[in-house]
Structure 1
Amino acid sequence: MDTITHTLFGLTLYGAANKSNMDKSHKRALLLTTLVGSQIPDIDVVVNLTETGRIMQQMWHRGLTHSFFLIPIWGILIYYLSRLLFKVKDRRIFYWAILAVFIHNTSDLFNTWGTGYLEPFSSYRVTFGTIPIVDFVFWFLILAGFIVSRKKEAGERYKVFRVVWLLMVAHVAIQSAQGYIIYNEAKEKYEDVALAAGFVPTQFQVIGKDGNEVKIVKDSIFIKPEVEHTLISKDEADLAPLFEENPRAKTLHEWSPFVVVVEEDNKLGIYDPRFYRNGESFLYEFIKKQP
């Protein structure tokens, strides 16, 4: 998910806590915990400060920091940060921290980019592609919950935000069920399949590869599949020079489920077709051939 959505998740998590017996320090500690916990896995962006980090950014972003096995570590760090700043010794803060980080890491599984959810034990990039990175349904539900909560007594507002969480979970479940059906239908047609959720709920892009042909298909359980793009991959091309001259290309090749190979008179490159928009993919690495 994007930074704004993760921030909204943190605020909604804070809103869902029953704070009737909390003093001001407890409330501040809880707010810090839910906000930091909702953002801290994205601390991996600091890898861009080094050359190696820029090369490996695709592998490292949403990698180890998003691992399920690192969630307790983040929880401990956030708990002691809150304890240091607000002098609050409450085990519940630790549990809220774990929940905030768990929501961050798990929600990112449903995007096309995916996460290294099983690192360091597996480098497999877990991605479902059933929720867009920016999902306005989440924003709408959170905004509606905030408006409704303003009409409630202060001690009852947390119940509204708990309903919001239930509705958001239901949204993810419904989207994922549809994506599962569409994905399995596509598996019968193509050798390799990837799924990318559209910004409109219930609509998806199926990216299917059969031989050297890649098709990008608009699909939904409510409409007939519509081919939007047909791409030809030069799979027979020798990629060794590309990987040698452009290390980012090798990283992209390892990271993507499959790639489209481009070989022209003056260019050799690869791109991830899941991010193909307006005639190009923003995940594209290439080298210029020497004449």
Structure 2
Amino acid sequence: MTHTLFGFAIYGALNKIKMDNKTKLAFLAASVGSSVIPDIDLQWASSSAKYLMSHRGITHSFFMVPVWAALFYVLSYIIFRVKDRRIFTTAFAGVLLHIISDWTNAWGTGLLEPFTSRRYSIGVIPNEGHIFWAIAIVVALLLLLFRRKEYRLRIFRTFWFLSAIYASFQIAFSAYIYFELKAEGYKQVSFRADRYPGGLTYFALNDNVVVEGGYELGGEREVTQNYPIDHVDLEELKENRSARDIILFAPFVVTQDLGDHIRLFDPRFSGRIAMLDIQIPKVN
């Protein structure tokens, strides 16, 4: 739904004064369609652990951006008989924004498919997009208060201005915490953003222990949980499809030897998403 919101916001921010109705429809279709088209992979994504690698894969790759944009350029001519180079650039922006916004949340995306199956995420924006919807409500109220046509373009562009401020703040705040943790000697750091600005849950690896902690703007950084990592043969675990998908998906994984089983999980979602917390019988 947030990607659809972005699509309408892209359309609203376009200067459409000299466009006829048919051209406007073509740009609306390109704006909204391009903003959601990468998620077409949900049509074939499995509900099991395979979902981790079947969703946000090749359709979300940087290499697909011009392909999707060209598709909407061609469709605008076939359906609306509109031939305008700006449709390509509009669709290009819509697809690119979808991919980048997915990259910024903890779930991540396959930016470099098909050359690598690795999932990339920086986790500085929450998955749900509550702040963007709050900004959209403000914009909707402004549109009701200022109904003259000459105000609409400025108001829609205000959405992008405020969104950029929010995203920049989250990135800067996360970078501050990241370098602080790295300076303390942690080898690897990952984030899962909270719903409100300035709230982050961090996961930092050092000495075979993943530390989970919380940080709020103006508050103290505190450790909430530790996840000791037991040494296991990851290459052997990769023979199990679910384990292999978690290893490819997660920035780092925690492995625990439970005797007859090996527990493998992504600490960012431990206990929250079943497919990211599995137990595999040991091979005798």
TM-score, with normalisation over the residues of structure 2?
0.90
Which blocks of at least 5 consecutive residues in structure 1 are unaligned? none
Q: What count of residue pairs does the alignment treat as equivalent?
A: 282
Residues in 2 aligned to 1:120 and 1:240: alpha-carbon distance in whole angstroms: 22
> Counterpart of 1:270 in 2: which secondary structure?
strand
- Report the equivalent of 1:106: 100
| Higher alpha-carbon deviation: 55-64 or 79-88 | 55-64
The alignment status of 1:128 with 2:87, answered yes or no, reads no
> Counterpart of 1:276 in 2: which secondary structure?
coil
Residue correspondence of structure 1 range 7-156 to structure 2 within 5 A: 7-48=4-45, 56-150=50-144, 151-156=146-151
Which blocks of at least 5 consecutive residues in structure 2 are unaligned? none
Q: Deviations over 1:144-182 (max 9, x none)?
A: 112212322134312211111011011101110000010
- Report the equivalent of 2:210: 214
> Counterpart of 1:48 in 2: which secondary structure?
coil
Are the aligned partners of 2:60 and 2:110 in contact in 1 as well (CA < 8 Å)? yes
Q: What percentage of residue pairs aligned between the two structures are identical? A: 36
Q: Deviations over 1:39-81 (max 9, x none)?
A: 01112223426xxx96654234223222222211100101212
How far has the Cα of 1:275 moved from its partner?
1.4
**AA partner of residue 223 (structure 1):** G
> Counterpart of 1:148 in 2: which secondary structure?
helix
- Report the equivalent of 1:182: 177
Q: Deviations over 1:168-211 (max 9, x none)?
A: 01110111000001011112332221111111210111101222
Residue correspondence of structure 1 range 227-238 to structure 2 within 5 A: 227-234=223-230, 236-238=231-233
How far has the Cα of 1:20 moved from its partner?
2.1
Residues in 1 aligned to 2:134 and 2:36: alpha-carbon distance in whole angstroms: 21
How far has the Cα of 1:216 moved from its partner?
0.6
Are the aligned partners of 2:48 and 2:275 in contact in 1 as well (CA < 8 Å)? no
TM-score, with normalisation over the residues of structure 1?
0.88
The alignment status of 1:251 with 2:245, answered yes or no, reads yes
Are the aligned partners of 1:111 and 1:127 in contact in 2 as well (CA < 8 Å)? yes
Return the match for 1:200 from 179, 196, 202.
196
Which portions of structure 1, spanning 4 or more consecutive aligned residues, are displaced by more than 6 angstroms?
none
Residues in 2 aligned to 1:130 and 1:91: alpha-carbon distance in whole angstroms: 34
| Higher alpha-carbon deviation: 35-44 or 119-128 | 119-128
Q: Aligned pair in 2 of structure 1 residues 101, 204: CA closer, same or farther (>3 Å)? A: same
Residues in 1 aligned to 2:234 and 2:96: alpha-carbon distance in whole angstroms: 38
Task: Report the RMSD for the aligned CA atoms in angstroms.
Answer: 2.4
Residues in 2 aligned to 1:238 and 1:120: alpha-carbon distance in whole angstroms: 26
Q: Aligned pair in 2 of structure 1 residues 82, 100: CA closer, same or farther (>3 Å)? A: same
**AA partner of residue 250 (structure 2):** S
How far has the Cα of 1:36 moved from its partner?
0.7
Q: Aligned pair in 2 of structure 1 residues 290, 122: CA closer, same or farther (>3 Å)? A: closer
Are the aligned partners of 1:18 and 1:155 in contact in 2 as well (CA < 8 Å)? no
The alignment status of 1:286 with 2:282, answered yes or no, reads no
Residues in 2 aligned to 1:83 and 1:269: alpha-carbon distance in whole angstroms: 53
Residues in 2 aligned to 1:54 and 1:85: alpha-carbon distance in whole angstroms: 37
> Counterpart of 1:113 in 2: which secondary structure?
coil
